[in-house]
Structure 1
Amino acid sequence: MKTANKIALARSMYRVVHLGRALVGRSDQCIVNRGGATFELELSQAIDFTIYLGNVFELGTKGALRRLVVPSSTVLDIGANIGAHTLHLAGLVGPAGRVLAFEPTQFAFRKLRRNIDLNPALAGRISTYHCFLGAQDGNTLPDAIYSSWPLMPEGELHEKHLGRAMATETATTRSIDSVLAEAGNPVVQLVKLDVDGFECEILRGATALLRDQRPIFVMELAPYVLVERGASLEEMLSFLIPNGYRLYDERTERAMPSTASELQKLIADGESINVIARVN
């Protein structure tokens, strides 16, 4: 399903919930416990709203992470947004594990930090980075990145996925390899990667990680946003396939094509698919 269609469905459901809460004197702001974690939510935001509705945000990805994450390991959450997967990952790695969470927009990073603070039992396992991951430290970062999907119609939204770009002015630019070296070069077992078209920029800065460690990736593929960033599905695969990676369906783990031309046939314009990339 296209992201725009998912947002349209969420908007319809939101209107009902918003009205029902208003009738009993409740606002769109709330604190809830979902999936063993506590979240502060703004229900007019799509990610927040799907967490509110029984923690149904990206259920396929949650299931894949549950199957793949090894307790006591180090994992990366790149594109952490408000922490929907960050807190889940912290639970999966356990007390001896570690989650490195990356978010470049002030809007989402503030909410990420708030949600981590609401979960003191998990907070000690999480290190947060308010940065844009690129090819090298200090590179110019985009002025704004999509990290908000409002459920109230408004202007200046992306024409296909209906997201709103949010400011990054307080963030820095780092590379994955640099961050990991600074952190003592931990062995990374898994990377959750969801960055709306910036995959190639990020992977350019992960040369050592891909060459020496080759962790599992659980990632979104959206060719149309890659093109918007001046990249392509073929270029993104060029970082993975030569390092021995193959792609698998996120839910079934069935093998998927490893060429851009064959993958493109599975993804309509405006759509995305979630995959697992791993080395056998």
Structure 2
Amino acid sequence: MKNFIKYLILNNKILNGIVTYIYHKLWLFDIYRGFSIPFSLLIRNVKIRLFPEGQVAKILFMKKFEQVEIDFFSRLIKPGMTVVDAGANIGLYSLIASKLVGDKGHVYAFEPSVETYQRLLKNIQLNHSKNIYPNNLGLGDNLDQELKLRQDVGFEDAERYLVPANFEVNSELSNVNSIEKEESIKITMLDDFLEKSGVESVDLLKIDTEGFEYYILNGARKILKSSDKMIILFECTELGTQRSNTSQKAVFDILHELGFNLYYWNIQEKKFSSDLEGCYSSGELWACRSEAQLSGLIC
């Protein structure tokens, strides 16, 4: 089999070209990583400074990072909108939103990791973004709770997850291992933060927090109720939620309770679907009050 694959690569120009391209991409990235050399890419008219030690950097470098979600996200954003980015990481979604909402729009970015937050700030400065309000905070449903941001052995920085300080994570889960490193983080409730900031409604909420979705939504009930046109883009898997002592069902239930319907992008049928089985298996989900809010995304 190995010799057959080698024969195909050597004798098929298209396949050979693809393999060569990937090889050189990986080789170049390994140089950046080996010498810890930061580098920049232009993505959606946004300059993004990547740090090769980070997992997201390699995925972006290979142009494999959430292409469908970024495309739809970009089409949704309109001038003057208010966007919340929970789990902003190095800032790609926040920076894209910043460009699109314009001077009259606002982007509130939350990133709990001190190291990643510093990288987020550098990317905001690189793009001269004046409408992003960065916060070195996590979001949850308890203002006084002490949380740990944990990274396990065998997992990279984009897979860090939040747990209560004294919470015993189920070690039998396949996405759990012994602790490689962790840090204590500060947390706030989105409702409390937005009320103090004078924000009465949010147009788009993006959540990427490796299983902590339920707590964020539970701490945002007021803004979820008051934002009739809100669209939520969020990642949610059963393994991720179990690791944080909740479940996909708990996340879906709270959204349904607050009047949201769930959708996922059906790759085979090239449309948004809402069947429950598909929502559970998708991992990348959209929530809004009417499917019509998503209709303009399909070209």
- TM-score range relative to shorter protein: 0.7 to 0.9
Identity of aligned residues (%): 24
Normalising to structure 2: TM-score of the pair? 0.73
With over 3 angstroms needed to count, the CA separation of the structure-2 counterparts of 1:13 and 1:240, relative to structure 1, is: farther
The 8 Å contact of residues 14 and 44 in structure 1, kept in 2 or not, is answered as no
Q: 2:121 matched to which residue of 1?
A: 113
2:254 to 228, 239, 252: 239
TM-fit CA distance, 1:183: 0.9
Report whether the alignment pairs 1:90 with 2:98: yes
**8 Å CA contact retained: 1:106, 1:166:** no
* Inter-partner Cα distance in structure 2 for 1:62 and 1:33: 14
Q: Deviations over 1:25-46 (max 9, x none)?
A: 9764223333322222222433
Structure 2 match to 1:274: 284
Deviations 1:189-233 (Å, cap 9, x if unpaired)? 010111110011111101101222141101112111101111011
CA contact (8 A) 1:177 1:208 kept: yes
One-letter code aligned to 2:50: L
Which residue identity lines up with residue 17 of structure 1 in the other structure? L
CA contact (8 A) 2:113 2:149 kept: no
Amino acid at match of 1:110: Q
Offset at residue 137 of structure 1 (A): 1.8
Distance, in Å, in 1 between the alignment partners of 2:243 and 2:35 is: 40
CA positional deviation for 1:143: 4.5
Q: Which moved more, 1:93-102 or 1:56-65?
A: 56-65
Distance 1:72 1:273 in 2: 29
SS across alignment from 1:65:
helix
Equivalent residue, structure 2, for 1:6: none
Moved over 6 A (4+): 11-14
Amino acid at match of 1:207: R
Higher relative contact order, chain-length normalized (CA < 8 Å, sep 6+)? 1
Task: Give the unaligned 5+ runs of structure 2.
Answer: 1-21, 160-172, 291-299
Q: Which residue of 1 aligns with 2:195?
A: 181
AA at the equivalent of 1:187: S
Q: Does 1:220 align with 2:229?
A: no
224, 229, 246: which one aligns with 1:210: 224
Are 2:145 and 2:187, in contact at CA under 8 Å, matched by a contact in 1?
yes
Q: CA deviation at 1:161?
A: 8.9
Contact 2:238/2:247 (<8 A) preserved: yes
Quote the residue 2:273 is aligned against. Answer: 255
The alpha-carbon deviation at position 113 of structure 1 amounts to 0.8
Alpha-carbon distance in structure 2 between the residues aligned to 1:27 and 1:132: 27
Q: Aligned to 1:29, which of 31, 38, 41?
A: 38
In structure 1, the residue corresponding to 2:100 is in which secondary structure?
Answer: helix
The answer as to 2:133 corresponding to 1:127 is yes
SS at match of 1:85: helix
Instruction: Report the 3-state secondary structure (helix = DSSP H, G, I; strand = E; otherwise coil) of the residue aligned with 2:205.
Output: strand
Is the alpha carbon distance of 1:140 and 1:190 closer, same or farther for their aligned partners in structure 2, counting shifts above 3 Å? same
Task: Answer yes or no: is the 8 Å Cα contact 1:82–1:108 preserved in 2.
Answer: yes
Whether the 8 Å CA contact 1:80–1:101 is kept in 2: the answer is: yes
User: Quick check: which one's helix share is greater?
Assistant: 2
- Per-residue deviation, residues 88-131 of structure 1 (Å, max 9, x unmatched): 111121221110001111121111111111111xx211001111
How far off its partner does 1:20 sit? 6.3
**Normalising to structure 1: TM-score of the pair?**
0.78
- Aligned twin of 1:8: none
Q: Which residue does the alignment assign to 2:74? A: 66
Instruction: Report the secondary structure of 1:142's partner residue.
Output: strand
Equivalenced residues, count = 249
